[in-house]
């Protein structure tokens, strides 16, 4: 289970909140999909305390409807869900051109090499084993936010002669 902060007044580790992406000042958009309501809600509260906007859903069908309305930057997706499991959802998401740049993160209680390989084959970029290491998750999301920031034009990076 993720560790929830006692207070959210100050950012963790003395770092700034994860705000701002390629869309200007909009925060990173994260979608959490897990059939475990407590875990999904707790994880969403924690991630939201870091600055991103978070949508929490509990079924694969709801996730498919959600991405039709709005494209998240990152989707944290439970593997072992009923009806549509995380592997099938990842394959469906990867087939959608509008989600081509969305980062898919698998969440699972299974962490054997075969489980991780299956996640990569389905289209996930990483595989987090539950209970999730929240420090590692935060660092990962910070890297995602940085990757989305607009880069200055090359002419501004070149030294003047």
The continuous run of DSSP H or E covering 93 comes out as helix 86-94
Asked if 63 contacts 96 with a C-beta cutoff of 8 angstroms, the reply is: no
Asked if residue 109 is part of any domain, the answer here is yes
Range of the domain at 74: 26-157
Split into its structural domains, the chain has a count of 1
Determine, yes or no, domain membership for 18.
Answer: no
Q: Tell whether omega for the bond before 131 is within 30 degrees of 0, i.e. cis.
A: yes
**Cβ–Cβ contacts within 10 Å for residue 109, how many?**
11
The per-residue pLDDT for 149 is 80
CATH of residue 44? 3.40.50.2300
Is 121 domain-assigned?
Answer: yes
pLDDT over threshold 50, residue 2: no
Does some domain include residue 41?
Answer: yes
Task: For 9, list phi and psi in degrees, rounded to 5.
Answer: -65, -40
Flag whether 15 is in a domain: no
Can you give the pTM of this predicted structure? 0.81
For the segment 10-60, what is each residue's pLDDT rounded down to a tens digit? 333 334 454 444 445 679 999 999 999 999 999 999 999 999 999 999 999
Q: How far apart are CA 113 and CA 10, in angstroms?
A: 37
In a domain, 4, yes or no: no
Q: Is residue 14 in some structural domain?
A: no
Over residues 100-143, the pLDDT tens digits come to 999 999 999 999 999 999 999 999 999 999 999 999 999 999 99
Please give the pLDDT value at position 15: 41
Burial of residue 133 (CB within 10 Å: 0-12, 13-18, 19+) is middle
Residue at 6 is within a domain: no
Asked whether residue 7 carries a pLDDT value surpassing 90, the answer given is no
């Amino acid at each position: 289970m993720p560790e929830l902060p006692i207070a959210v007044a100050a950012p963790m580790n003395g770092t700034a909140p994860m705000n701002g992406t390629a869309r200007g000042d909009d925060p990173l958009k994260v979608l959490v999909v897990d059939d475990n309501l407590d875990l999904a809600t707790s994880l969403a509260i924690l991630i939201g305390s870091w600055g991103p906007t978070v949508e929490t859903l509990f079924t694969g069908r709801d996730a498919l409807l959600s991405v039709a309305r709005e494209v998240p930057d990152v989707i944290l997706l439970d593997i072992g869900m009923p009806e549509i499991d995380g592997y099938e959802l990842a394959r469906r998401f990867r087939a959608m051109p509008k989600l081509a740049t969305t980062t898919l993160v698998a969440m699972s209680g299974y962490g054997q090499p075969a489980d991780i390989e299956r996640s990569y084959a389905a289209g996930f970029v990483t595989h987090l084993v539950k209970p999730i290491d929240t420090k590692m998750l935060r660092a990962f999301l910070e890297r995602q936010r940085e990757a989305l920031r607009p880069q200055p034009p090359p002419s501004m990076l070149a030294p003047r002669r």
